[in-house]
Amino acid sequence: MAIAAAPEGARYWVVPVVRGILALVPAAAITFSQNHSPVFGLFVFGLWAVVSGLVTGALSMRFTEDRGIRSFFVIAAVVTVAAGLLALTVPGGLPFLLYLVSVWAAVTGILELFAGLRARGRTPAARDWIAAGAFTAILALVFLLIPLDAVTAVGLLGGYLVILGVYLLIGGFSLKWATSPADAAPDAPGTEPTS
C-alpha cells in the first residue's frame, strides 16, 4: 500500500519549506530588534505561533497521507495556535514567557519526535521530523531548567527559530530534489533528482 511506503505525498516538501520560511521571519525580527523584553518575546512568539500553527496545520492536512502521522501534526498545530493566542492575550512577564514556551515546546517537540520515530524507514521526511522534534524538545528543557533573563530567553527563542528554519528549508528542498519522477506528477517541474 502506498501510504505504508510513504506517509506523505510527493509534494510534501512544501510543508517544511513553508515552516522554515515562517520560522525565519520572527527570527529576523528578534535578531534585528534591540528590545528583548518579555512583552516583545511574547508578541513575536504569539504572532508566529498563530500563523505557523494555522498554515502548517492546513498544509499537513493536505499533504500528509498517513492518518496517524497527520493526527500528530494537527494536534501540534492546535497546541501551537493555542499557545500563540495565550501569548498574545494573557498579560505576563518573564515567568509566563518561560512557562508558555517550555510547555508548548515539550508538547509539540514530543509529538513531532514521535511522528518521526513512527515513520522511520517509510519516508525520508522522518529524519527531519525527528531532528525538528529534538530541537524543540531541547528548547523546552532549556527554558524549563536553566534560569534565564529576558534578553537571553528571547535571544534563545530567536536562535531556535533560526536553526529550525534553516534546517527545515534544507530538509524540504532535499525532499523535493529527491522525489523520483514515478512519485511525482509527470509534468511537475523540479521532480528530477539532482546529482
Is pLDDT above 90 for 135? yes
| CATH numeric code, 14-173 | 1.25.40
pLDDT digits over 167-193, tens only? 999 999 999 887 654 444 444 444 343
Q: pLDDT, tens digit, for every residue of 104-123?
A: 999 999 999 999 999 998 88
Overall average pLDDT of the 83-102 stretch = 96
- Mean pLDDT, residues 127-145 taken together: 96
Rounded Cα distance between 77 and 44, Å, is: 17
Average pLDDT over residues 86-111: 96
List the domain boundaries for the chain: 14-173
* Percentage of residues in the chain having pLDDT higher than 90: 77
pLDDT of residue 193: 39
pLDDT in tens, 15-70: 999 999 999 999 999 999 999 999 999 999 999 999 999 999 999 999 988 888 99
